[in-house]
């Protein structure tokens, strides 16, 4: 079926011609169904959406302007937009944000507080086993977020020396924490 044939059917549907609507459905529903299915990814949902798309086509056929527009592109745009609208309407915005960012309750329960407190004491204990300047560099790097260069300047050592201090200190901390 050519674009002109589809355009004629759409213009007859605009006049509420049921036979033309039936012919338009028969000729274009496979293509429009594939548009809905590709977006919705569920056959049942796509079938339902297709029926709603054809209701919109019945109601809006008079808005189609044949001059310069592809009739199949106009029909596919209706199917595409409707499918996207259905998907958007299903997803509650707030729950999506919570799931996406995995937001947790900001106040930990007592068990987690006890575990975190115990871990904090173990880390402090292990940091005390390091030389004071190394422990200070580790705290500044991983608590305050200072860069290697800032730490090197602060401690008066070359940049590569600071990297070595931090790497070796972290290895010692790991050994201490594994005990």
Report how far residue 93's alpha carbon sits from residue 88's, in angstroms, rounded to the nearest whole number. 9
Helix, strand or coil, per DSSP, at residue 95: helix
Query: Count of domains in the chain?
Result: 2
Q: Is the pLDDT of residue 12 over 90?
A: yes
Range 87-115 average pLDDT: 66
Report how far residue 86's alpha carbon sits from residue 106's, in angstroms, rounded to the nearest whole number. 34
How confident is residue 101, by pLDDT bands cut at 50, 70 and 90?
A: low
CB atoms within 10 A of CB 176: 16
Q: Is the pLDDT of residue 125 over 60?
A: yes
Where helices occur in 15-147 by DSSP H, the ranges are 18-40, 43-60, 71-90, 93-101, 110-128, 132-142
In a domain, 102, yes or no: no
CATH classification of the domain holding 166: 1.10.10.10
Domain that holds residue 170: 120-178
In a domain, 99, yes or no: no
**Is the full-model pTM beyond 0.75?**
no
Range 38-53 average pLDDT: 94
Report how far residue 149's alpha carbon sits from residue 83's, in angstroms, rounded to the nearest whole number. 53
């Amino acid at each position: 079926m050519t674009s002109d044939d589809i355009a004629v059917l759409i213009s007859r549907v605009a006049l509420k011609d049921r036979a033309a609507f039936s012919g338009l459905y028969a000729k274009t529903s496979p293509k429009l169904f594939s548009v809905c299915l590709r977006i919705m990814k569920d056959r049942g949902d796509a079938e339902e959406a297709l029926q709603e798309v054809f209701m919109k086509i019945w109601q809006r056929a008079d808005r189609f302007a044949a001059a310069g527009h592809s009739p199949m592109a106009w029909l596919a745009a209706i199917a595409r937009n409707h499918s996207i609208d259905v998907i958007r309407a299903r997803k509650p915005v707030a729950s999506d944000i919570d799931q996406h960012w995995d937001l947790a309750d900001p106040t930990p329960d007592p068990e987690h507080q006890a575990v975190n407190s115990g871990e904090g004491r173990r880390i402090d204990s292990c940091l005390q086993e390091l030389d004071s300047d190394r422990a200070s560099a580790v705290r500044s790097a991983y608590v305050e977020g200072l860069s290697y260069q800032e730490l090197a300047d602060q401690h008066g050592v070359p940049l590569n020396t600071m990297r070595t201090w931090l790497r070796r200190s972290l290895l010692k901390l790991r050994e201490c924490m594994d005990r």
